[in-house]
Amino acid sequence: MSGPAHESTAQQLDPLGTLSGRRLAIVGSSLALLYAVVITAREFRDLVHPVAATLALLALAAACLALVLGGDPRFAPFTRRRMAFVLTAALAAHLLSAYATWRHNDFVRDDWGPVAVGVLLLAFAPFRPWAEILRSGVIAAVVVAALTVVQLPYFVTAAPPLVLVSAAMAPVLGMTVASATFCRALVGSVKEWDGRAARAREADVGRVREGMARSVQQDRVTILNRDVLPFLAEVLDRDSITEDDHERARSISDSIRGVMISEAGRSWLEDLLLQHRQEAMLAGIAQDPPVSDPHKVAEFMDLEQRAALRALLDDLLRTPALQRGTLAIRLTSTGSRCDAEVSAVLRMSRHRTRCLISPYLAVFRTAFDAVRVERIDTELVLRFSYARH
């Protein structure tokens, strides 16, 4: 495909279906941070380095904030780099927390780090591939185990070292396995559904083509019935051909040829917005053609990209807040890249505009490159690009 490289993540395979993944990120981050604050307050008497304890909470807060922002559809997709930052910040928080109670950490169960890291790993399920989550969890568990081994001489619990290390690693490994398992099952179900849908589409191709052929034929018959047949009937009734008939025949021929050439030259995008332009003109609103595509680069969009753009335009056209005659699309080509801009004037607040556009941004960021959105006064401007094949 011509958009960004796809990964086997639920977010990229089903952007709209996994919008609820952000709730998991918010809830998981909130619980991890709340748990860390409660445990730190409860074990305040054991703190040797309060500054380190504060820095630990700040590092965890940074990890949680990065996870929540990364799960926002406006910043999709959730990349490997973002995941690495979240995990690194969470592990750094665990190290700082351990240093804050160095040599005074009596019980391994008092450490909030492994639980917080495990919860964040659990929240990665909708955003990253299951194998990557599993690898990251193993790495995090090794770090937790190493830090636990270093602290073994200071624990007062009379238990074998292996038990203490296992107790520290358990939250990380347990939630890692749960996250990877859920991710794998979710991605598998999405791929299975997509496979069934693809087979259904292939089965419908023949019927769709047949219907399109009938539709085109009916359009041509309509033109003949409206213009050509009445003229021929008039000539036959008169039983003679005049000079005016020559001019009228030439005019009808030019008109029909112009219509057919115009229809043949229109792109799918121009066809989509043709009705919108006609409605604006009937309402007395002068509007330039809503699509500016001098190089016909709309045809280079693949099926997924066309579906995403079609869905956005359909929603914009149905929105009562859209000011008639302001929806416009500009497509340009530079080398092997195509740049697009969609603009419209919406009489609604910024918050409502964000609610309207956010679900589509999640899809656009997986289908197109360099997706950017701006709100200039009441005008919404969406820019994106894609490869020209």
Tens-digit pLDDT profile for residues 93-104 = 999 988 887 776
Q: What is the predicted pLDDT for the residue at 90?
A: 93
Instruction: Classify residue 204: in a domain, yes or no.
Output: no
> Could you tell me which of 53, 61, 66 has the C-alpha nearest to residue 116?
61
Q: If pLDDT is split at 50, 70 and 90, which confidence band does 3 have?
A: very low
Cα 46 to its chain centre, rounded Å, is 46
CB 57 within 8 A of CB 343: no
Cα angle 311, 186, 356; round to 5: 25
Same domain, 36 and 140: yes
Q: What is the mean predicted confidence (pLDDT) over 11-23?
A: 67
Q: What is the mean predicted confidence (pLDDT) over 312-326?
A: 82
Same domain, 181 and 284: no
Instruction: Classify residue 95: in a domain, yes or no.
Output: yes
- Residue predicted with more confidence, 8 or 123: 123
Please count the structural domains in the chain.
2
Instruction: Classify residue 351: in a domain, yes or no.
Output: yes
- Residue predicted with more confidence, 154 or 313: 313
- Around Cβ 80, how many Cβ atoms within 10 Å? 13
Instruction: Classify residue 360: in a domain, yes or no.
Output: yes
- Around Cβ 14, how many Cβ atoms within 10 Å? 21
- Any idea which of 121-130, 185-194, 200-209 has the lowest mean pLDDT? 200-209
Q: If pLDDT is split at 50, 70 and 90, which confidence band does 352 have?
A: confident
- Residue predicted with more confidence, 81 or 244: 81
Strand partners, 13: none
Same domain, 175 and 280: no
Instruction: Classify residue 234: in a domain, yes or no.
Output: no
Last residue of a domain, one of 196, 213, 232: 196
pTM for the full predicted model? 0.59
Range of the structural domain that residue 376 is part of = 267-387
Q: What is the predicted pLDDT for the residue at 286?
A: 47
Pairing of strands 379-387, 369-376: antiparallel
Q: What is the predicted pLDDT for the residue at 176?
A: 93
Same domain, 296 and 173: no
Q: What is the predicted pLDDT for the residue at 1?
A: 42
Q: What is the predicted pLDDT for the residue at 194?
A: 61
- Any idea which of 68-82, 95-109, 134-148 has the lowest mean pLDDT? 95-109
Same domain, 28 and 109: yes
Same domain, 187 and 76: yes
Same domain, 180 and 272: no
- Give the DSSP per-residue string, 84-99: HHHHHHHHHHHHHHHH
**What is the 8-class DSSP label of residue 224?**
I
Last residue of a domain, one of 196, 222, 242: 196
Same domain, 154 and 65: yes
Same domain, 19 and 166: yes
Mean pLDDT of the chain: 76
Backbone angles phi, psi at 366, to 5 degrees: -95, -20
Q: What is the predicted pLDDT for the residue at 380?
A: 87
Cα angle 327, 272, 298; round to 5: 85
Same domain, 172 and 280: no
Same domain, 164 and 23: yes
Instruction: Classify residue 373: in a domain, yes or no.
Output: yes
Same domain, 164 and 297: no
- Give the DSSP per-residue string, 236-290: HHHTS--HHHHHHHHHHHHHHHHHHHHHHH--HHHHHHHHHHHHHHHTT-----S
Instruction: Classify residue 254: in a domain, yes or no.
Output: no
Last residue of a domain, one of 196, 217, 237: 196
Instruction: Classify residue 310: in a domain, yes or no.
Output: yes
- The CATH number of the domain where 272 resides is what? 3.30.565.10
